[in-house]
Structure 1
């Protein structure tokens, strides 16, 4: 199957519809199509062609969107790199990507990689526009996204045009069609969530309301004044939005919010619903092009991460790879058209990632009788205390329901007697002291072996650019203490 660039198609079918907004600027599909044509011409002038790779260090900016679609018209692959990385961290990624061109946004990585060409200088007033628009095929590589590398050197997941298209179709089928979806783009475009939002709006003929970063006051302005219909949050950013608007109801134009990054406390979901926000929990990963499961709007209850999106399959397997029945916990595996083509230059890692055609996610979970998924933990986050499995998410859900607890993360630390014990890092509300009853609070809902051995107070949890807790940093803090 072949497709044309979605911006070119939008310019032909709905030229005056808004396609992108950023920092007070607005582009219709016709205007964005013309801009992308100039970027194609500038890239061609630098010798960039089909099959090449372009590395990019940038935070969210309209220029990133223009570059992404221009590269698609050339058949060139984008390798977006985390703008927070140091030179030592970037070097092996660039070696793997072997880019024809390395670009950076002004002010980003200026010390880590000053020799990269400035993204803003790629296209100047003298740039010649190009009408070149190569067909996009299902197997056409579009992006190389490097995984976090928690178990070693990061690997580059290769995502294709077919992956992004399938992800957009599956998401729409689950959430319901919208004549002109308007997504708030606060997720970083160097992560799969941000890129999935960028492509989803283009394929659906919608508009991406792109922001350089998340800010709760700005998010509320976008919801109230800019016609935003959809957004993506994690639990902490959702709470910040509700706090900032003092739980004032959102306008009827706002349709729903996807909530990723782990389970959401029930009281927070109740607050969101009271404010008119349909908050749907979701589970996804880079190697499956973002969403894998998501609650369905008509049946969302906040208890699970929902069912597999239409066209995708999820199963739970045991230690030997055998499929398990509902109610039994094990390894989560995924199959479907959103799954990556493989890891860049890593044939052995690619083979290890798949099992009988299923992607091994390295996450642990359980399916209920209706196929709804509960994610228990990452395999690397599982705590084994005296032979008993402890899932951090279970402990975190109990602690998050304590009225004095704002957020919490549980990690396992070595213990001479038990092998490993859980330790809870707690952020309290209103800078209160650490409550003395947290252990008793846990014992009301949890078996004794699951109760954290220690409770440590933090002003805030360390998080990455996607808002996920960096458990590795927490473990290092304990070891350094």
Structure 2
């Protein structure tokens, strides 16, 4: 469709970006560590790491990887939460000319085996807390080296010793394991410091990341993200936020895991490029501790998913924080619900900007302009150099206002899935990536996700979108969280069921249904209501409707 959204770009946002402005992420990294030398790059557990220190540590880690015989392009897996070791490993791998394979630390042995084997990873950097998971499959996946790290390894002495002792012996968070090919992370850095480092010339087509999709439709697939894909997306994100940024001065709260594509690009890479301070939150599920950490920083940017923002709003002490420096609160990963966005804006005096992206798009596709005053209920407008069209089931473009599947084209779209030509051909058609999301565009070029194709509920031939049901139920003052799914029904094919967590224990099934009747057409009103203490979620806090459906 015509790029009607460009007329809505705020002042200073260009229509196009240069995807070849930098040859690689390494070139951006080199520029940043030179430009922001003494600035703080990362903070975790009250310990700061400057860009200078990051430069030295990543150089040593890169040299270590090369010294053990790994070659340019070799995949190296990283399996850890948000710790200072993560950016050291990440940028060390990239500087060594190798490919980063991000792994969810909560993976089971089966899931880990699939990802290591599918990616053909040569080495694994893993937090000791999860080493027992790898041990179960070590004979099935032959790695050249396993680099083990403890939670406190990048902290100064004696804090390092205390943290690692408490984690292992007091909290007993490190199950026993035996690995013959393991090396300590700190030892690897020492060996690397004495090893020669060979700087490779990286090209745009070289792989930067093998980023695995969630696997909601079969085994997870490795999205091949090139340096050009990632550079393009960084240029697109920079173009959108640059008018608001003071390079070298911003403080970004990183609570979403860096191994997830959202935080990887929006937090880790973007603010490396802009010289920002990344405050790494290792365990955001501990909301009281998270709020306490927020109180230590004059943060200007925070990213999260709807459940994270909702959780903060319902945590004592959050409303007492100082929000005067907050410029951007960015919501993605799942739909931002209006009740949450309204409460956030009222409290912080800053709108919650909803964005949309996909692993296969590195990930940014659309975002709300930074100059909006209130929640729009949309995922915003496409980032520069991005095309979107809405199509019907035959791939034929639909007019504005009609819902259909959203297809995306741009320099951030991956070349394909690793070793999956059929899946690649199914997803990428003439350069267009078929997202599997149902969306609709308005006359100003703002897009709204109606729902995932596979989450749609069919009631007596009518399409019912879970997002709509969830937003209505979530607006009830006694509801904390909710998920809507379709369940088999003998007369209507499917019926709507809501599974929710109460904010107020007095809430009843009757209240929920009556509230829905006031706000929804009859066929959309839930037939079933189930109360639970918690809802199943992904590692980033996205509610798993799929798991609820499978239970049914």
TM-score scaled by length of structure 2? 0.82
Query: Which residue number corresponds to residue 345 of structure 1?
Result: 419
In 1, Cα distance between equivalents of 2:110 and 2:487? 28
Query: Which residue number corresponds to residue 174 of structure 2?
Result: none
Q: Secondary structure at the match of 1:148?
A: coil
The structure-2 alpha-carbon separation of the partners of 1:112 and 1:475, relative to structure 1 and needing over 3 Å to count, comes to farther
- For the aligned residue pairs, the C-alpha RMSD in angstroms reads 2.0
Q: Secondary structure at the match of 2:128?
A: coil
Cα shift readout 1:295-316 (whole Å, capped 9, x = no counterpart): 1121253221111112222221
Query: Which residue number corresponds to residue 89 of structure 1?
Result: 111
Query: Which residue number corresponds to residue 317 of structure 1?
Result: 391
Query: Which residue number corresponds to residue 311 of structure 2?
Result: 240
| 1:77-476 map, 5 Å | 77-113=99-135, 115=138, 117-120=146-149, 121-124=184-187, 125-127=190-192, 128=194, 130-177=196-243, 178=245, 179-180=247-248, 181-196=250-265, 197-214=267-284, 215-244=286-315, 245-248=317-320, 250-276=322-348, 277-302=350-375, 303-476=377-550
In 2, Cα distance between equivalents of 1:316 and 1:45? 50
Q: Secondary structure at the match of 1:275?
A: helix
Aligned-pair CA distance for 1:135: 3.2
In 2, Cα distance between equivalents of 1:136 and 1:446? 54
In 2, Cα distance between equivalents of 1:308 and 1:105? 37
Aligned-pair CA distance for 1:133: 2.8
The structure-2 alpha-carbon separation of the partners of 1:6 and 1:110, relative to structure 1 and needing over 3 Å to count, comes to farther
In 2, Cα distance between equivalents of 1:129 and 1:209? 31
- Decide whether the 8 Å contact of 1:315 with 1:323 is kept in 2: yes
- Decide whether the 8 Å contact of 1:232 with 1:257 is kept in 2: yes
Which of the pair has the greater relative contact order for Cα pairs under 8 Å at 6+ separation? 2
Cα shift readout 1:149-204 (whole Å, capped 9, x = no counterpart): 11111111011222222222222322344123322121112211121121111122
Query: Which residue number corresponds to residue 141 of structure 2?
Result: none
Query: Which residue number corresponds to residue 37 of structure 2?
Result: 15
- Decide whether the 8 Å contact of 1:413 with 1:420 is kept in 2: yes
The structure-2 alpha-carbon separation of the partners of 1:239 and 1:420, relative to structure 1 and needing over 3 Å to count, comes to same
The structure-2 alpha-carbon separation of the partners of 1:148 and 1:364, relative to structure 1 and needing over 3 Å to count, comes to same
In 1, Cα distance between equivalents of 2:199 and 2:272? 16
- Decide whether the 8 Å contact of 2:509 with 2:529 is kept in 1: no
Q: Which moved more, 1:343-352 or 1:167-176?
A: 167-176
Aligned-pair CA distance for 1:249: 5.5
- Decide whether the 8 Å contact of 1:73 with 1:132 is kept in 2: no
Residues 1:6 and 2:28 are matched in the alignment: yes
- Decide whether the 8 Å contact of 1:182 with 1:228 is kept in 2: yes
Aligned-pair CA distance for 1:424: 0.7
Q: Secondary structure at the match of 1:449?
A: helix
In 2, Cα distance between equivalents of 1:247 and 1:144? 39
TM-score scaled by length of structure 1? 0.94
List alignment gaps of at least 5 residues for structure 2.
1-19, 139-144, 150-183
- Decide whether the 8 Å contact of 1:434 with 1:457 is kept in 2: no
Q: Secondary structure at the match of 1:108?
A: helix
- Decide whether the 8 Å contact of 1:39 with 1:67 is kept in 2: yes
Q: Which moved more, 1:356-365 or 1:246-255?
A: 246-255
The structure-2 alpha-carbon separation of the partners of 1:109 and 1:415, relative to structure 1 and needing over 3 Å to count, comes to farther
In 2, Cα distance between equivalents of 1:232 and 1:293? 15
In 2, Cα distance between equivalents of 1:175 and 1:13? 19
Query: Which residue number corresponds to residue 165 of structure 2?
Result: none
- Decide whether the 8 Å contact of 1:39 with 1:123 is kept in 2: no
In 2, Cα distance between equivalents of 1:392 and 1:27? 43
- Decide whether the 8 Å contact of 1:11 with 1:30 is kept in 2: yes
In 2, Cα distance between equivalents of 1:172 and 1:205? 12
Aligned-pair CA distance for 1:33: 0.5
Cα shift readout 1:191-250 (whole Å, capped 9, x = no counterpart): 111211211111222222112121434443444432322111222211222233352363
Cα shift readout 1:326-354 (whole Å, capped 9, x = no counterpart): 21111011111111121001111111111
- 1:70 corresponds to which of 92, 98, 101: 92
How many residues were matched structurally? 478
Residues 1:54 and 2:76 are matched in the alignment: yes
Query: Which residue number corresponds to residue 42 of structure 1?
Result: 64
